[in-house]
Structure 1
């Protein structure tokens, strides 16, 4: 336990380690989805060009995240010094702090912010970039408008303030969530029963793909990042067979614009109505 705490306590100062947590799963899942894909994709030009566009958004998101991370650290430090937050008030030990903190961050920084983005017109217009992808694969997971980095940072700050968790728990949660984000977007064909049983606790690939179906109410369902319990408890879980899923958005957004970077960057400044 102490080794885990020590490692993640300093992970923010190890950019190559953080990059490895991102790059290695992408590489492995890229290979798996190339061997046994869930769907045959129809890329505009090629899978590589599609990946380059998505990675461009990812890099912007990561740069902003790195710049804002100092505020997460400062808030965590303040909570530890002042004894503010649930983990301090209830006197959790290290193990319970990690368990509770990871679940809480997955709720605030995963489910809740995602739910709010879908229900708030201004936030939704930024989130559109993620949903316009008509070819969902491992590179789609971190395809977000730069403005979304600020929105998600805000919800992480709220979660930290309420829970009072230390920075190592935040980094454990963020690492787990980023891995699940890539896993659930990957175009991989898991055995049906394995995916089904997995989805009772965690967000599985087939479960999350429902969220990318172009029609409501499916677009407004399955908001979870790592744990499926939030969708099941809060009534936002829906099932749709992978064979019936069509990626993209409904007719108010042109699907052929899914790789037009200029239009995607302008999406928060246009009035899209579901």
Structure 2
């Protein structure tokens, strides 16, 4: 246990190693989704050109969170030095610190995600993630800078509440990087395996429901790593993978889902109200499953 703690306590100081985990996870699931795809995605041009658009957002997301890392370290150290936060108030042992820190940070991911769906102004930024009509492993970090910044703020808030030390923070960040790639990857798991996974973790099929083009399915399954928040707070939904269609039925033109500049500018150019919405796509009969 001591070696694990020592590894994660200093992982923040090794950005190349962290980048290796991110890139390695993306490449691993990129290969897997090519071998066992959930659906045969028909890209507008090529899978690579689709990936380039999403990687553009990924780079910006990483820059923002690299800058926020300075605040994360300072806040975590302040909590340790002052004894502020749940882990110190409860006098938690090492295992308790990890559990409290990881669960608190995962709740921050659920909470900010739920708020972005419920608050109209914040939804302008988050809808860029949902506008992807071809959900694959590269979709996971397709976040508008406004979306990324808000996630960082909530992450800091839950570090303050939990008092999570850096080793607990880095364990969670490693988990969320791997899980994000896994849940967005266009992979087909046996239905029973996916179902059993979803009792504890966010499974691929569970998260794909969140990317369905129509509400109320879009407004469900907000979790990042653990499914407990959606199950406890009433936001869990199921939908057969064969019925899922990606994209948005309003708010954004699905034909522009790979227009990087339009996606970057879109939150700032008009209000996202139903009367301003892009007309809904006509319903299409679901394939037999």
TM-score range normalised by the length of the shorter chain:
over 0.9
Match of 2:211 in 1: 212
Pairing of 1:117-128 with structure 2 (within 5 A): 117-128=116-127
1:35 has 2:35 as partner: yes
- Structure 1 CA distance for aligned equivalents of residues 209 and 84 of structure 2: 39
Structure 1: gaps (5+ residues): none
Match of 1:62 in 2: 62
Q: Tell me, what secondary structure is at the counterpart of 1:268?
A: helix
- 8 Å Cα contact 1:132-1:258 kept in structure 2: yes
- Structure 2 CA distance for aligned equivalents of residues 41 and 260 of structure 1: 18
- Structure 1 CA distance for aligned equivalents of residues 181 and 93 of structure 2: 31
- Structure 1 CA distance for aligned equivalents of residues 253 and 5 of structure 2: 47
Deviates more, 1:204-213 or 1:35-44: 35-44
Match of 2:72 in 1: 72
Match of 2:18 in 1: 18
Deviation at 1:262, TM superposition (A): 1.3
Match of 1:86 in 2: 86
- Structure 2 CA distance for aligned equivalents of residues 267 and 18 of structure 1: 31
Q: Tell me, what secondary structure is at the counterpart of 2:148?
A: helix
- Structure 1 CA distance for aligned equivalents of residues 266 and 107 of structure 2: 26
- Structure 2 CA distance for aligned equivalents of residues 28 and 12 of structure 1: 23
- Structure 2 CA distance for aligned equivalents of residues 251 and 127 of structure 1: 14
- Structure 1 CA distance for aligned equivalents of residues 250 and 117 of structure 2: 17
Q: Tell me, what secondary structure is at the counterpart of 2:214?
A: coil
Deviation at 1:263, TM superposition (A): 1.2
- Structure 2 CA distance for aligned equivalents of residues 267 and 68 of structure 1: 24
1:175 has 2:157 as partner: no
Question: What is the total number of aligned residue pairs between the two structures?
Answer: 273
Normalised TM-score (structure 2): 0.93
Deviates more, 1:119-128 or 1:88-97: 119-128
- Structure 2 CA distance for aligned equivalents of residues 251 and 96 of structure 1: 44
Deviation at 1:175, TM superposition (A): 1.0
Q: Tell me, what secondary structure is at the counterpart of 1:240?
A: coil
Structure 2: gaps (5+ residues): 275-289
Q: Tell me, what secondary structure is at the counterpart of 1:219?
A: coil
Q: Tell me, what secondary structure is at the counterpart of 1:182?
A: helix
- Structure 1 CA distance for aligned equivalents of residues 257 and 111 of structure 2: 26
Deviation at 1:68, TM superposition (A): 1.2
- 8 Å Cα contact 1:54-1:140 kept in structure 2: yes
- 8 Å Cα contact 1:213-1:219 kept in structure 2: yes
Q: Tell me, what secondary structure is at the counterpart of 1:253?
A: coil
Deviation at 1:149, TM superposition (A): 1.8
- Structure 1 CA distance for aligned equivalents of residues 235 and 93 of structure 2: 32
1:49 has 2:57 as partner: no
